[in-house]
Amino acid sequence: MIYTRNILTKENIEHIFDLYHTLPNRIIINDFEQDRYYASNTGHFLIAEYTLEEFDDILKEISDRQGQIFDKITHIRVLKYNATCFIPKHRDSYDINLQKSSSKSSIIQLNDPNFYIGGKLVIDENVTDLQMGDMVTYPYNVLHEVRRVHKGIRYVLNIRHN
């Protein structure tokens, strides 16, 4: 697990929320037209998918702050956890017919954790402490979960990459 503090500024996060609220629902990802916004089939949370082009400025900012470029990004998604939402313990997987494989996941906290109760990200039995703008990167095959959100809404950016 690798932590990076303040990988995104408040302005970057506001830009992400602007994209989240204004882009159209239909999108083409990996040559497949789909709805941008959909409910997860693992656990209970909402997903919004994005293209590399839509996140070009944000990815450049992350690379500049991190000092390295993400290798081969396969997915960029905003995950929304309303009250009662969670992800049970699991190892990441993908649909070989619809998705490209990846070896790492990076999670960036998009809102202040004081705005919700619960919703802790637990990676390999370690509870993470992410503040708004912080990132954690972990191997794709590591056991992890997001505990139930009891009150409020939790937003994170999920970047899957190699």
- 24 vs 41, which has greater pLDDT? 24
Instruction: Name the CATH superfamily, with its identifier, for domain 2-161.
Output: q2cbj1_9rhob like domain (2.60.120.620)
In this prediction the pTM is 0.90
**Rounded distance between C-alpha atoms, residue 72 and residue 142, angstroms:** 19
User: How many angstroms separate the Cα of 5 from the Cα of each of 67, 88, 114?
Assistant: 13, 26, 17
- Residue 103 three-state SS: coil
Taking only the tens place, the pLDDT of each residue in 6-26 is 999 999 999 999 999 999 999
Domain ranges for the chain, please list them: 2-161
- 127 vs 161, which has greater pLDDT? 127
**Rounded distance between C-alpha atoms, residue 100 and residue 105, angstroms:** 13
Taking only the tens place, the pLDDT of each residue in 56-115 is 999 988 888 877 667 788 889 999 999 999 999 988 765 544 445 557 889 999 999 999
Give the helix ranges, DSSP H, for 23-76.
Answer: 56-66
